[in-house]
Chains A and B, each alone.
Chain A
Amino acid sequence: MDTKDKAHLKISLKYGKGDLIMKEGDYGVSIYKVNKGHVRVSQQQGEMDVALASLGPGEIFGEMAFLNKAVETRSASVRAMDDVELEVMHPKILSSEYEGMPPILRYITNQTLNRLARMNKMYTQLLKKTELTKARDLREPETNKRQYYRKPLHQACVYRPVRGSGKVRLEGQITDISVGGVGMDVSAGNTLKIPHEPGDEFAIHTTLPNGREVDLVGKIRGVAKTSTPGRLKLGMQFTGLNGESSKTLGFFMMS
């Protein structure tokens, strides 16, 4: 049977909601046209399934492997979003039509195709970045429980916001310390100069009772009033301690 005869063989396929129609990484050359329903085109990025497109009646998928000869495997997965009817197109027929189209249209289409592949890549990379940030923010509440031994302390400290106005110098008292964070007692007046909101990051400098100076960086987990009017208690969680500070603090906690 030559390709002309095959052109008259229309194969149609039916899928239900959620069915996997095409799997990323599989070998395959068929091209599909959506006749009814909608499909979701997605790509795996690490743990994530990234949606690239949803296609409806009249639209085509499976074309990447066919147009981009360098790609042998499916570059994306496709799932049915509802009741879907597809028409399978023989790649040979489409291929000969593609080769036979006016060269200038082929020239333009090849560029569109390459750019689509490029934009898909840029999109998934950007998404990955956004998702990672989101995932980190979600994980935080679990790590903010300071389960470490907290050493009571009564030590003066100076602190300033990590971001923004560099010349600000605020004063406070460290009331307890652990390897995970510090408790601080500060004047309510400090909050008039600089906002003290949960999540705000501060660099703290103090001298420990053993005489060692230490630089700490932490963010506010909670702000509470104390029994003394005009004083606030800050619960700070360390966000970035350099090696030197970690060592100094660890040593102090053991003593």
Chain B
Amino acid sequence: MTVNSLLYGYMVDELDYPDKKVIIEEGSIGDWVYVVLEGRVKVKKKTAKGFVTLFTLEEGGIFGEIPLFLKRDRVRTTTIQADGPVKVGILDTARLDREFELLSPQLKGLIKTLARRFSETVDNVGRLASA
């Protein structure tokens, strides 16, 4: 996966994070959508027995997109942590939001279902991982 010109067209800012730095904290409020430009990040879930790494994102990987689709709350469901020094891009959330709202109700319904099922499944994984 590489970061293509498509994403650069939506980018409003770039940020650098050192290794291990937390970029998004689970439970915090926010709706920025990010893309990994250089390096890697870990997506983690808090459990009763500490953090579980769910997956790793590399260049081109999007994170923080769930609130864009689900709207109803903007509480972050996972923690995103730099895995080595990383450069991330911040995408134009307002523009993404406008374009999402223009989709047909069917397509919006489909994407919302995916997003809801994703965060629900992540919660279930977190519960089981600490069992």
Contacts and interface: CB of A to CB of B under 8 A. Distances in A.
Report if A and B associate in a common complex. yes
Interface of A: 31, 33, 52-53, 55, 58-61, 63, 89, 93-94, 97-98, 101-105, 107-109, 111-113, 115-116, 118-120, 122-123, 126-127, 130
Contacts of B129: 126
The A contact surface, by secondary structure, is: helix
A66 to B, nearest CB: 9
A9 B18 CA distance: 55
Contact of A105 (B55, B100, B106, B113): B100
Interface of B: 6-7, 9-10, 33, 54-55, 61-62, 65-66, 68-69, 91, 96, 99-100, 103-104, 106-107, 109-118, 120-122, 124-125, 128-129, 131
Max chain B Cβ within 10 angstroms of own Cβ: one of A58, A98, A103, A109: A109
A126 B128 contact: yes
B33 to A, nearest CB: 7
A97 B104 contact: yes
Given A97-B107, A102-B99, A123 B6 contact: no
A53 B96 contact: no
The B contact surface, by secondary structure, is: helix
B114 A112 contact: yes
A112 B57 CA distance: 12
B54 A122 contact: yes
Max chain B Cβ within 10 angstroms of own Cβ: one of A55, A119, A130: A119
A112 B111 contact: yes
Contacts of A94: 106-107, 110
Contacts of B61: 111
Contact of A115 (B10, B118, B120, B131): B118
B103 A120 contact: no
